[in-house]
Amino acid sequence: MSDAVALTKSLLRFDTINPPGRERDCARFAGAMLQEWGFDVQYFEYSEERTSVVARLGGSERKSPLCLTGHLDVVALGSRKWSKDPFAGETAGDKLYGRGVSDMKSGVAAMLLAARSFSKSLSNTPGIVLVLTAAEEGGCIGSQHLAQTQLLGRAGAMVVGEPTGNLPFVGHKGSIKFYARFKGKSAHGSMPELGDNAVYKAARAVAKLEAFSFKAKKHPVMGAPTLNVGTFQGGAGINLVPDSAVVGVDIRTVPGMDHRKLLSRMKSAVGKGVEIEMQSDLDPVWTDPKNEWAQRVAEICMDVTGKTPKTRAATYMTDAANLHKAYGRVPTVVLGPGEPGQAHQTDEYASMERIRESVAIYENLIKDWCS
């Protein structure tokens, strides 16, 4: 398996669609290769078949290793029909097709091959740690559980191989997702005065949420925080006073915002006595573009791709939100060969040239970190 495109095809063949996930076979496949190359490999399952891999090579007292991370799960195929087989690794021109090829099995393949290039030369160097996670899609659950284990060890900087078209992104927004549950009292629809309408309460809260002001400064790269009410459910029949209603809220935050304070403001906005059921609470990730290592990453990308990167941040969430906390907020870049616009699309594809290019980028990052 000497070529990153061939290895990406092998990873595509594992059906890791989440839900249900079932990353185990794919994780064991990657782990077995790493073991063969001399890595110290550990597996972690937060539930049946939801397997993450942590693999380490090298290591020294004076400097922590470089962490390379990616997720093994992919999203569902969607309701539109694919014109290509999502698991077979079909190609056309420079495009390689498949579910998860951009998001982000090509990134994982390139990281694996870059790691293999150094399998004989990392002793007595800071070394590297590969973290391949389960269940990133829909809440970064795998990395959240992994961060609670002792398996992650140390890292001095982190590369997240999510799709960026080989351009380094210096962070992404944070996210808070919750359901607000409103209670009322049921009554016959012809006698609403005998009931307590939960939908009215929810509707008043939604109007307040729409007008909510974050009072946060715009971030120079990520812009302003946002809020979206994504779901609204309530009532059991047209002739009943609804006794319950549920509203789903998705907030995207920028660096510098205090999630705890924001949540308590949210609670007063939706009203007293409303039950809040948290879905996820993930911090933003941000590395100052002037950070020495972030600049080295930008130079290395420029050397390989010939493109001058400008300062960018990703719009999507990554496992970095959890891993970053476990590693003590080390400098982090999101950088991978996939096409950002192809993530979660029907007929998802990635450029084979970029996949091969990214192996060189990751190799140079490892060389730079370990020499």
Q: How many chain residues touch Zn ion (CB under 5 A)? A: 3
Q: Which is nearer to Zn ion, 57 or 335 (CB)?
A: 335
Half-sphere CA count of 1, side-chain side, radius 13 A: 21
Cα of first residue to Cα of last residue in the chain, in angstroms, is 26
Mark residues 108-147: x for contact with Zn ion by CB under 5 A, - for none: ----------------------------------------
Task: Give whichever of 15 and 196 is closer to Zn ion, judged by the CB atom.
Answer: 15
Output the DSSP codes for 150-170: S-S---SEEEE-SSSTT--B-
Distances (CA, A) of 220 to 39, 122, 290, 333: 40, 38, 14, 17
Give residue number: closest CB to Zn ion. Answer: 103
Compute the distance between CA of residue 239 and CA of residue 184 in angstroms, rounded to an integer: 15
Q: Using the minimum distance from each CB to Zn ion, give the nearer residue, 103 or 243.
A: 103
d(CA 314, CA 301): 17
Contact 130, 114 (CB under 8 A): no
Q: Tokens standing for 198?
A: 């939960």
What character string, x for contact with Zn ion (CB under 5 A) and - otherwise, covers 292-331?
----------------------------------------
State the nearest-atom distance from the C-beta of 250 to Zn ion, in Å: 17
Q: How far is the CB of 141 from Zn ion (least distance, A)?
A: 13
Compute the least distance from the CB of residue 100 to Zn ion, in Å: 8
Q: In the chain, where does DSSP find H-type helix?
A: 4-12, 24-36, 106-117, 141-147, 198-210, 259-270, 292-305, 320-326, 352-370
CA distance 211 to 97: 42
Asked if 348 is part of the footprint of Zn ion (rule: CB under 5 A), the reply reads: no
Which range binds Zn ion by CB under 5 A, 79-87, 90-98, 154-162, 251-259?
Answer: 154-162
Nearer to Zn ion, 130 or 198 (CB): 130
How far apart are CB 162 and Zn ion at their closest, in Å?
Answer: 5
Smallest distance from Zn ion to CB 269, Å:
31
To Zn ion, the closest distance from the beta carbon of 174 in angstroms equals: 16
Tell me the one-letter amino acid at 203: A
CA 286 to chain centre: 14
One character per residue 156-185, x = contact with Zn ion (rule: CB under 5 A): ------x-----------------------
Nearer to Zn ion, 90 or 162 (CB): 162
Q: Which is closer to Zn ion, CB of 108 or CB of 274?
A: 108
146 contacts: CB under 8 Å, gap ≥ 6: 44, 46, 52, 54, 131, 133, 152, 322, 323, 326
The CB-of-71 to Zn ion minimum distance in angstroms stands at 6
Residue 371 identity (one-letter amino acid): S
Phi-psi region of 357 (alpha: psi -120 to 50; beta: other; left: phi over 0): alpha
Which positions from 93 through 112 interact with Zn ion, judged by CB under 5 A? Answer: 103-104
User: Quick one: 75 or 115, whose CB is closer to Zn ion?
Assistant: 75
Nearer residue to Zn ion within complex by CB, 148 or 315: 315
For the CB of residue 9, give the shortest distance to Zn ion in the complex, in Å. 18
Interacting residues toward Zn ion by CB under 5 A? 103-104, 162
